[in-house]
Chain A
Amino acid sequence: MNLFFQQIINGLTLGSIYGLVALGLTLVYGILHIPNFAHGALYMVGAFMSYFFMVDLGVHYWVAMAGSAAVVAILGILCERLVFHPLRNSPPIHDKIAAIGVLLFLEATIQMFWGSDFRRMSSPFTGIMNFDGLIIPEQRLLIIVGAFTLVIGLQLFLRKTMTGATIIAMAQSREGAFLVGIDSNRVAMMTFGISGALAAVAASLYAPINLVYPAMGHLVIMKAFVIIILGGMGSVPGAIVGGMIIGFAEAFGGFYISTAYKDIIAFGLLVLILSARPQGLFAKGAH
C-alpha cells in the first residue's frame, strides 16, 4: 500500500513538471502554430540559471527561481522577436528548422560555459514529511503545490484579466482578434515570455531531485510534445490532463513494468494513440 502511494506521489510530481512544460508549449502553439522545438532548451537554460544564481551567486532558492524565470522569459521574448517573428509568413517547415537552430545554439552555449558534466543542485527543502506512515519528501510536495498554484494562477490570468483574454482571443481566431484591435506582436511576445517563465520554474522545481546537464531538456520536451498531442495542440486543460496521464503512466510503468524502458512508455503511448487517432485524443475538429 505504501509503495503504491509512493507511486502516486511520483506520478503527481512528474505530471506536475510535465504539465508546466507542456503548458508553455501549448500556449505558444495556440498563438503562433509553431511546434517550438527550442522549448526544451529554454527548460534547460532555466535549470542552469537557477543553478548559477544559487551556487555561484549564493542567493536563496526562491530568489534564484524568480531570477531564472525572468531571464528565460526575456530569452523567450528575444526568440520570438529575432527568429519567429521574421518567419511568420514562411512555410511551416522553416519555423521548425529555425526552432531546431535555436535549440542547438542554446545547448552549445550552455555547454561552453558549464561543460557537459552532471551537476547537483540542492534546495533548502530536503526534509521528509511523515503523514501517519505515508512519507512525502518536502521537495516533491513543493513541486505538486507549486505547479497547482501556477496553473490556477495562469487560468485566472487567462480568464479574468483583459490581457489574458487577448491571448485566448488570438488562439481562438487570429483575424477576429485583429478585428477587435488586439496587437498581435504584444500577445506573441507575452506568450513567449509566459511560456519561458513556466519552463524555467518547472526546471527550478525539478532540478533538486534530478540532475542539471545540457541535454536535460531532450526527454522532457519530447514528452511535452506527446502530452500536447494527447491533450490537443493549443489546449490549456489538455496540457494539464495530458501531463498527469504521462506522469502516472511513467511512475507506475517504471515501477511495475521496467525501469530501463520507462522512458519509452510515453512514446509508445503516443505511437499507439496516433495510430488509432491521427488528430490526437481530445482534439475536436480542425483546431
Chain B
Amino acid sequence: MLFKLGSLFMKPGAKMALLALAIVFPALASNEYQVYVMASAFVWAIAVYGLNIITGYCGQLNLAHGGFFAIGAYTLGLLTSDAGWSFWPAFVAALLVTAVLGFLVGVVSLRLKEHYFAIFTLCVGFIIYLLMDKWEELTHGPVGVRDIAAPYGFGVVDFTETTPFYYLVLAFLVFSIWFMGRLSRSLLGRTFIAIRNGDELAQSLGINLMRNKVLAFVLSTTYAGLAGALYAGMVRFIGPEEANIIHTFDMITYLLVGGIGTLTGPLLGTISIVWITQSLQFLEEYRMILFGPLLVVLVIFFPRGINGQFLTWMHHKAQTLSPAKKKKSSKVQTATSGEVKNNA
C-alpha cells in the first residue's frame, strides 16, 4: 500500500502534477512576494543542480560553485550596465564566460584529487571574491553593479513583472531538470558515477578521467552561470557578496537536505530550505546555528537526504511486503538498489 503510494510519487504522472502545481502556483499564492520567493528558490535550485553534477554524480566537492554563480551574475550585470548590451545577448555571454572559465579552472584543479581538489576550489572561490571586491576598475568593487537590464519579453510578455519572470525561471528550471534526467540516464552520467565510485576502477574500465571530470565541471559551472545570470536579471543589483563562500555552503546544505546525487533532491532541498528560512525570517542572520548542526546530523545519520532516505525506505517496504516475489525480483532488486544508490 505504502509502496504503491511511493511509486505513484515517482511515476511520470507525478512529475506532470508537480509541474502543473508549479504552473498554477502564482494563482494560488496570496501575494506577489510569495511568487518572488518561489522564483528565487527556482534560481538557486538551478545552481544546486549544477553542484549536483560535479559533487553528487562525479564525487568532487567543488567549493568554488558560488564563485561561478557570481561570475554569471557579474557578466550579465557588467555587460548590460557598463557595456550597454541588451539582456539576451548578455545572457548568452554569461553562459559562455562561465563555461570557458569553468574549463580553465577545471583543467588545472581536476588534476588534484579529493582533499586537494576541495581546498584548491575553496581558494579559487576566494580569489573570485577578492577580485570582485578589489578590482574596482572592472567590477566597481564593494559598491557593486547597479542598473542591470531586466529580460525583455518577446511580443506580449513582459518579464520585468514578477509573474512572467517566475514562468521564465520555471521554464529554465524544467529544462535544467530535463537535461539532468537525460544526463543521469545516459552513458555519460553513468561514467560520472563510475568516477565517483572509484577513480582507479573507472580508469581501468577505459574511462578517460580527466576528460570526463572536466566535462562534468564545465556543465556544473554553466548551470551556475545560468542561475547567476537569472539572479542578476531578477535582483538587478549585485555586489561582491554574491561570491561569498557562504552561498556555496548554502547550496551544499540544499543539496544534502534534498539528497546528494539524486534527480529530485536538489529541487526538494532548495524549495524546502528556502521556505523554512523565509518563515523563520528572524533567523536570517543566525540560520546557520540550525543549519550547521543539521548538516552534521544529515551526513552522520541520513547521508542521502530526504529523497535518498525516502527511496531506501520504499525499497525496504517493497522487500518486506512481497517476500514471495523476492526470488523472482532479485534481478530487478539489484537494478533498483543501484538506482537508489546512484541516481534515483
Given A101-B294, A271-B120, 20 more A-B residue pairs with CB atoms under 8 Å apart are A35-B119, A94-B300, A97-B295, A100-B295, A101-B291, A101-B293, A104-B288, A104-B292, A105-B292, A112-B286, A112-B289, A229-B119, A261-B134, A263-B130, A267-B130, A270-B120, A271-B127, A274-B108, A278-B111, A278-B116
B116: chain A residues at CB < 8 Å are 229, 274, 278, 280
Most chain B beta-carbon neighbours within 10 Å: one of A29, A33, A96: A96
Please choose the segment from A47-55, A84-92, A165-173, A176-184 that sits at the chain B interface, where 4 or more of its residues have CB less than 8 A away.
Answer: A84-92
Q: Mark B237-263, 1 if CB is under 8 A from A, else 0.
A: 000000001100100100010000000
B299: chain A residues at CB < 8 Å are 87, 90, 94, 97-98, 101
Chain A nearest Cβ from B318, distance in angstroms: 26
- Contact between A108 and B112, CB atoms less than 8 A apart: no
Q: Is B115's CB within 8 Å of the partner chain A? A: yes
A98: chain B residues at CB < 8 Å are 295-296, 299-300
Residue of B118, B122, B130, B295 touching A264 (CB-CB under 8 A): B130
A225: chain B residues at CB < 8 Å are 119, 122-123
Residue of A87, A108, A229 touching B288 (CB-CB under 8 A): A108
Chain A nearest Cβ from B253, distance in angstroms: 8
- Contact between A87 and B114, CB atoms less than 8 A apart: no
Q: Is A109's CB within 8 Å of the partner chain B? A: yes
- A274 to B109, alpha carbons, bound, how many Å? 8
Q: Is A72's CB within 8 Å of the partner chain B? A: no
Residue of B126, B131, B134 touching A222 (CB-CB under 8 A): B126
- A74 to B252, alpha carbons, bound, how many Å? 28
A106: chain B residues at CB < 8 Å are 292
Chain A nearest Cβ from B112, distance in angstroms: 5
B289: chain A residues at CB < 8 Å are 105, 108-109, 112
- The A/B interface has a contact count, at CB < 8 Å, of 118
- What secondary structure prevails in chain B residues at the interface with A? helix
Provide 26 A-B residue pairs closer than 8 Å at the C-beta atoms, listed in order of the A residue.
A87-B299, A87-B300, A90-B303, A92-B114, A93-B55, A93-B61, A94-B303, A96-B115, A97-B61, A97-B256, A98-B299, A100-B252, A103-B292, A104-B246, A104-B249, A104-B292, A105-B288, A108-B289, A111-B286, A225-B122, A225-B123, A226-B123, A267-B123, A274-B108, A275-B111, A278-B116
Q: Is A107's CB within 8 Å of the partner chain B? A: yes
Residue of B118, B120, B122, B246 touching A274 (CB-CB under 8 A): B120
- A100 to B295, alpha carbons, bound, how many Å? 8
- A37 to B295, alpha carbons, bound, how many Å? 14
Chain B nearest Cβ from A34, distance in angstroms: 8
B300: chain A residues at CB < 8 Å are 83, 86-87, 90, 94, 98
Q: Mark A243-268, 1 if CB is under 8 A from B, else 0.
A: 00000000000000000110110011
- A29 to B118, alpha carbons, bound, how many Å? 14
The chain B residue sitting closest to A116, CB to CB, is B285
B286: chain A residues at CB < 8 Å are 108, 111-112
- A199 to B205, alpha carbons, bound, how many Å? 45
A83: chain B residues at CB < 8 Å are 296, 300
- A103 to B122, alpha carbons, bound, how many Å? 14
User: What number of A residues sit within 8 Å (CB to CB) of B?
Assistant: 46
Most chain A beta-carbon neighbours within 10 Å: one of B55, B131, B303: B303
B108: chain A residues at CB < 8 Å are 271, 274-275
- A33 to B122, alpha carbons, bound, how many Å? 18
Given contact pairs A87-B300, A108-B288, A96 touches B293 in the complex (Cβ within 8 A):
no
Q: Is B59's CB within 8 Å of the partner chain A? A: yes
Q: Is A119's CB within 8 Å of the partner chain B? A: no
Given contact pairs A94-B303, A98-B300, A271-B108, A35 touches B130 in the complex (Cβ within 8 A):
no
- A271 to B245, alpha carbons, bound, how many Å? 18
- A29 to B109, alpha carbons, bound, how many Å? 20
Chain B nearest Cβ from A213, distance in angstroms: 14
- A226 to B112, alpha carbons, bound, how many Å? 14
- Nearest 7 interchain pairs by C-beta: A105-B292, A101-B295, A108-B288, A104-B292, A104-B288, A101-B296, A94-B299
- Contact between B288 and A278, CB atoms less than 8 A apart: no
B256: chain A residues at CB < 8 Å are 97
- A233 to B112, alpha carbons, bound, how many Å? 13
Q: Mark B79-118, 1 if CB is under 8 A from A, else 0.
A: 0000000000000000000000000000011011011101
Residue of A35, A219, A226, A267 touching B118 (CB-CB under 8 A): A35
Q: Is A189's CB within 8 Å of the partner chain B? A: no
B291: chain A residues at CB < 8 Å are 101, 104
Q: Is A218's CB within 8 Å of the partner chain B? A: yes
Within 8 A of A (CB), among B291-314: 291-296, 299-300, 303
Q: Is A102's CB within 8 Å of the partner chain B? A: yes
- A275 to B112, alpha carbons, bound, how many Å? 9
- A170 to B29, alpha carbons, bound, how many Å? 59
A267: chain B residues at CB < 8 Å are 123-124, 126-127, 130
The chain A residue sitting closest to B283, CB to CB, is A108
Q: Is B287's CB within 8 Å of the partner chain A? A: yes
Residue of B61, B245, B287, B294 touching A96 (CB-CB under 8 A): B61
- Contact between A222 and B292, CB atoms less than 8 A apart: no
- A261 to B288, alpha carbons, bound, how many Å? 30
- A113 to B109, alpha carbons, bound, how many Å? 38
A35: chain B residues at CB < 8 Å are 115, 118-119
Chain A nearest Cβ from B293, distance in angstroms: 6
Q: Mark B207-247, 1 if CB is under 8 A from A, else 0.
A: 00000000000000000000000000000000000000110
The chain A residue sitting closest to B289, CB to CB, is A108
Q: Mark B4-33, 1 if CB is under 8 A from A, else 0.
A: 000000000000000000000000000000
Within 8 A of A (CB), among B118-172: 118-120, 122-124, 126-127, 130-131, 134
